[in-house]
Amino acid sequence: MREPAWCLIGALCIFVLATSRGRSHYLQLSRADHTLAVCGDQNACYVLESSTDLTDWTPLTVASPTVNPVPANLTLTQNTVFLRTAVVGSWSVGTFNKVLDLRADFGAMGNGTNDDTPAIQAALNSTLIYSNAVVFVAPGIYRLTQTCSLPGGGTNGIQSRPVLVGIDPSRTAFLWDGSSSGPMFKFTGCSPQFGGISFQSTNPQVASVIYSAPP
């Protein structure tokens, strides 16, 4: 799990600067206008989580400084709430032009029983529209029953680069529950990126990801 920056909201407010893979990021709270900002490198994507006991964490929102920010309204009803943020993706060249959520934007459930294949395929297809999009995968078990694939292509001549990122591979997994042949993912002429996500299957012969050159 990426090293988080922490913030405690309650009777006491503290701010801690954390570094993740050489990148600094932190939370900035304005008590005057009741706003919370995630500050960090431009070519990065951040997830904000909350907890009341430092054990169970719930993702609240995903943000990237390079995407026009859409304010998230967060209602905190507890007296004391812990917040943390972590880098879930970075881009060495160019910028993100879209931040999406596998559950909120594509309807995935992540409960280990629902078939999330259509939602995951739709997330991959979105990279044909948003060439530099990142899709956040919240903690959960996402069941696949068919191979998810993506051909080469993109927008304005820019190659598609699917980026699916989670915050903790021990709590976030793609579970293969399809035929014995697989694979789970197949990409042709594009360069996908997975981060903070594990791949699980009851059949060790099933490949997680297969790449092939364009015809």
Q: What is the pLDDT of residue 78?
A: 56
For residue 69, is the peptide bond before it cis, meaning its omega torsion is within 30 degrees of 0? no
- pLDDT given at position 107: 96
Query: Rounded to the nearest 5°, which phi and psi values hold at 118?
Result: -60, -40
Task: Give pLDDT, residue 99.
Answer: 79
Kindly provide the b/e burial profile for residues 10-47, where b requires at least 16 CB atoms within 10 angstroms of the residue's own CB. eeeeeeeebebeeeebbbebeeeeeebebebbebbbbb
Global pTM value: 0.73
The partner residues of 98 in beta bridges, in order of sequence, read 133
* DSSP-derived secondary structure for 139-175: SEEEEESS-EEE-S-EETTEEP--EEE-S-TTTEEEE
Give the length of the chain.
215
pLDDT of residue 120: 97
The closest of 94, 173, 168 to 134, measured between CA atoms, is: 94
Q: Quote the pLDDT of residue 66.
A: 60
Residue 183: per-residue pLDDT: 93
Smallest CA-to-CA distance from 182 within 201, 159, 197, 155 is with 201
Question: What is the reported pLDDT for 23?
Answer: 52
pLDDT along the chain (215 residues), means of 10: 52 43 63 69 74 78 61 58 72 64 94 97 88 85 95 61 86 92 88 88 89 76
- What 8-state DSSP symbol labels residue 2? P
**pLDDT of res. 10:** 53
For the beta sheet containing 35-40, the strands, ordered from the edge strand earlier in sequence to the opposite edge, are: 18-20, 23-30, 35-40
**pLDDT at position 85:** 74
The residue type of 121 is Q
The predicted structure's pLDDT at residue 115 = 97
Q: What is the pLDDT of residue 215?
A: 65
pLDDT of residue 209: 92
67's CB contacts (< 8 A; 6+ apart) are 96, 97, 98, 99
Cα Rg of the chain, angstroms: 18
Closest CA to 23 of 1, 49, 3: 3
